[in-house]
């Protein structure tokens, strides 16, 4: 295992000087605001302790996987490697995926405290209000929601936001089509409530996988098996006492219960400041979890990854989306140097070595196929392979884009409830998870040198990589 539990990761953060301990901050307003400010500054991870009204030792860890360095370290990739090397390494790991099934243990630290029946009280934890306008306290911002498909026994682990509604009820929000949503609907179709475990705080590999921040598990492939592969060891789980679902044995907190069909229980939920940087939802009835038991370690750590405005994460074109690049390769498109996120949500860059006429159009069709299933509202910029930074993308758009031929609006139709651009008249339909008739078009921008006169395109006034490297080396002190 890369990490046996969250505490090993915490120790590593502390050893590297990447952890700040904050004592005495209030859950009502201070913890959320400190986290927001630190995230904006790309600052260290935060461990909140001695939260007023709660026992010392009941802690919250935030800002711990919010930038590329901490995220890659969490996944076992040495942050000393260049971003490109890390992308390559991660590409190898995902490409060599072989299922590594979890291992069932007889017990584990998560069962150090077992609270059942009338004693169940979600308010025993110092769950923060992350933003002032949030309509509640969210314990689940970086959780692992575990469910089992009743037809195939496939175990899904997904990250869906979880609020504390009252002592024994959580709210849970899943976009339609999430694996967790598909599974719960199978139970509902049989008139049953869907068994569920929400794990709050586990070693970070499973956390990252469940939110698909670095890899999206395909249908019927369990994130637990992928985690085992990444750890190069079977993932230790215990059997949940009531539902029998697998729980990471060393989880900090596990909440066990059932999601009843909407006809049997909805509660007003939200609004919640989301990862787009907006309140996408008004407060409205949302599905719930009837909590039957809570398990937690002594002095539990709530792992938190609350959504903040996406303004700091993507300024560098370093984080190569190896999955999309590989899918392009598999589709026969050559010359793709990288696929990057320029800004969230969905402002993407493809860096391409143009090899033939129509090459850019191939990529353009691939990234943005028209059609009913197509989820839109993405912006794709295709650039030449000499473009490697965010500033250069803007420069390419300013200098290589021919607007009259290089801009394509691709009609799409999507249901993605949190998109701030949904027109008011379609909001209600979106809230009900209907496939919207609302426009969710894509924009594809060709910011490459025009291929038909590429040889005559004015050359760039830049010294050779060799000369630049030599000068950087010989004049090192100038550049520190």
Ligand X SMILES: Cc1cc2nc3c(=O)[nH]c(=O)nc-3n(C[C@H](O)[C@H](O)[C@H](O)COP(=O)(O)O)c2cc1C
* Residue ranges in contact with Mn ion by CB under 5 A: 156, 179, 217
Contact 308, 274 (CB under 8 A): no
Residue 212 engages ligand X in binding (rule: CB under 6 A): yes
How many angstroms separate the CA atoms of 191 and 194, rounded? 10
Which three-class secondary structure state does DSSP give residue 397? helix
Q: Which is nearer to ligand X, 213 or 375 (CB)?
A: 213
Write out the E strands in 167-297.
169-173, 194-200, 236-239, 246-248, 253-259, 266-269, 284-296
Residue 469 CB: number of other CB atoms within 10 A? 11
How many of the chain's residues bind ligand X (CB under 6 A)? 18
In the bound state, the residue with its beta carbon closest to ligand X is: 211
Least CB distance to ligand X at residue 159 (A): 3
Least CB distance to ligand X at residue 420 (A): 16
Q: Which stretch binds ligand X (CB under 6 A): 7-15, 172-180, 287-295, 462-470?
A: 172-180
Q: Which tokens in the block code for residue 336?
A: 């793709």
Least CB distance to Mn ion at residue 413 (A): 24
Contacts of 466 (CB under 8 A, 6+ apart): none
As a 3-state breakdown, the chain gives helix, strand, coil percent values, each rounded to 5, of 30, 25, 45
Closest CA to 113 of 289, 288, 255: 255
Residue 185 engages ligand X in binding (rule: CB under 6 A): no
Residue 160 engages ligand X in binding (rule: CB under 6 A): yes
Least CB distance to ligand X at residue 153 (A): 15
How many angstroms separate the CA atoms of 19 and 43, rounded? 9
Contacts of 79 (CB under 8 A, 6+ apart): 69, 70, 72, 73, 86
Q: Which is nearer to Mn ion, 158 or 260 (CB)?
A: 158
How many angstroms separate the CA atoms of 480 and 475, rounded? 10
Instruction: Go through the chain and tell me how many residues it has.
Output: 480
Q: Which is nearer to ligand X, 142 or 406 (CB)?
A: 142
Q: Return the residue of 108, 180, 273, 376 that touches ligand X, per CB under 6 A.
A: 180
Residue 260 partner contact from Mn ion, ligand X, none using kind-dependent CB cut-offs of 5 to 8 Å: none
Tell me how far CA of residue 26 lies from CA of 23, 53, 74, 378, in angstroms: 9, 9, 27, 38
Q: Return the residue of 108, 135, 142, 300 that touches ligand X, per CB under 6 A.
A: 142
Q: Which is nearer to Mn ion, 179 or 297 (CB)?
A: 179
Q: Which is nearer to ligand X, 142 or 338 (CB)?
A: 142
Residue 178 engages ligand X in binding (rule: CB under 6 A): yes
Residue 147 engages ligand X in binding (rule: CB under 6 A): no
Q: Return the residue of 216, 284, 326, 400 that touches ligand X, per CB under 6 A.
A: 216
Residues in 308-327 at the binding interface with ligand X, rule: CB under 6 A: none
Residues in 248-307 at the binding interface with ligand X, rule: CB under 6 A: 305
Least CB distance to Mn ion at residue 3 (A): 21
Residue 186 engages ligand X in binding (rule: CB under 6 A): no
Q: Return the residue of 59, 124, 137, 161 that touches ligand X, per CB under 6 A.
A: 161
Least CB distance to ligand X at residue 156 (A): 5
Which three-class secondary structure state does DSSP give residue 342? strand
Residues in 228-247 at the binding interface with ligand X, rule: CB under 6 A: none
Q: Which is nearer to Mn ion, 196 or 352 (CB)?
A: 196
Residue 211 partner contact from Mn ion, ligand X, none using kind-dependent CB cut-offs of 5 to 8 Å: ligand X
How many angstroms separate the CA atoms of 58 and 288, rounded? 25
Closest CA to 180 of 138, 214, 146: 146
Residue 82 CB: number of other CB atoms within 10 A? 9
Task: Name the residues that contact ligand X, by CB under 6 A.
Answer: 141-142, 156, 158-161, 173-175, 178-180, 211-213, 216, 305
């Amino acid at each position: 295992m890369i990490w046996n539990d969250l505490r090993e990761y915490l120790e590593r953060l502390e050893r590297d000087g990447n952890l700040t301990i904050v004592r005495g901050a209030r859950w009502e307003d201070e913890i959320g605001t400190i986290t927001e400010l630190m995230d904006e500054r790309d600052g260290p991870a935060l461990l909140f302790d001695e939260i007023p009204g709660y026992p010392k030792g009941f802690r919250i860890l935030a800002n711990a996987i919010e930038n590329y360095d901490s995220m890659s370290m969490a996944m076992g990739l040495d942050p000393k490697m260049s971003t490109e090397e890390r992308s390559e390494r991660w590409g190898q790991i995902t490409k060599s995926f072989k299922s590594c099934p979890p291992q069932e243990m007889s017990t584990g630290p998560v069962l150090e405290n077992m609270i059942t029946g009338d004693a169940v009280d979600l308010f025993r934890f110092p769950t923060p209000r992350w933003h002032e306008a949030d309509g509640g306290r969210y314990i689940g911002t970086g959780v692992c929601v575990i469910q089992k498909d009743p037809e195939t026994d496939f175990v899904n682990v997904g990250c869906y936001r979880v609020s504390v509604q009252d002592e024994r009820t959580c709210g849970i929000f899943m976009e339609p089509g999430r694996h967790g949503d598909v599974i719960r609907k199978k139970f509902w179709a049989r008139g049953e409530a869907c068994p569920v475990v929400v794990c709050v705080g586990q070693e970070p590999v499973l956390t990252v996988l469940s939110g698909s921040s670095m890899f999206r598990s395909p249908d019927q492939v369990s994130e637990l098996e992928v985690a085992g592969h990444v750890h190069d060891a079977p993932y230790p789980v215990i059997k949940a006492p009531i539902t029998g679902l697998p729980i990471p044995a060393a989880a900090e907190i596990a909440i066990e219960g059932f999601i009843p069909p909407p006809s049997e229980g909805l509660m007003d939920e939200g609004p919640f400041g989301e990862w787009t940087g907006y309140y996408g939802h008004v407060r409205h009835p949302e599905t719930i979890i009837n909590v039957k038991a809570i398990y937690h370690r002594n002095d539990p750590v709530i792992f938190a990854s609350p959504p903040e405005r996406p303004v700091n994460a993507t300024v560098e074109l370093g984080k190569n989306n190896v999955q999309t690049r590989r899918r392009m390769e598999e589709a026969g498109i050559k010359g793709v140097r990288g696929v990057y996120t320029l800004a969230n949500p969905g402002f993407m860059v493809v860096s391409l070595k143009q090899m033939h006429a129509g090459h850019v159009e191939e990529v353009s069709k691939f990234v943005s196929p028209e059609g009913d299933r197509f989820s839109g509202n993405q912006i794709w910029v295709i650039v030449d392979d000499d473009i490697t930074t965010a500033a250069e993308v803007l420069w390419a758009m300013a200098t290589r884009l021919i607007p009259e031929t290089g801009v394509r609006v691709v009609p799409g139709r999507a249901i993605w409830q949190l998109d701030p651009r949904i027109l008011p008249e379609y909001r209600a339909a979106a809230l009900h998870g209907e496939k919207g008739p609302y426009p969710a078009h894509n924009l594809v921008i060709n910011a490459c040198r025009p291929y038909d006169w590429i040889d005559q395109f004015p050359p760039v006034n830049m010294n050779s990589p060799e000369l630049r490297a030599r000068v950087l080396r010989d004049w090192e002190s100038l550049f520190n």
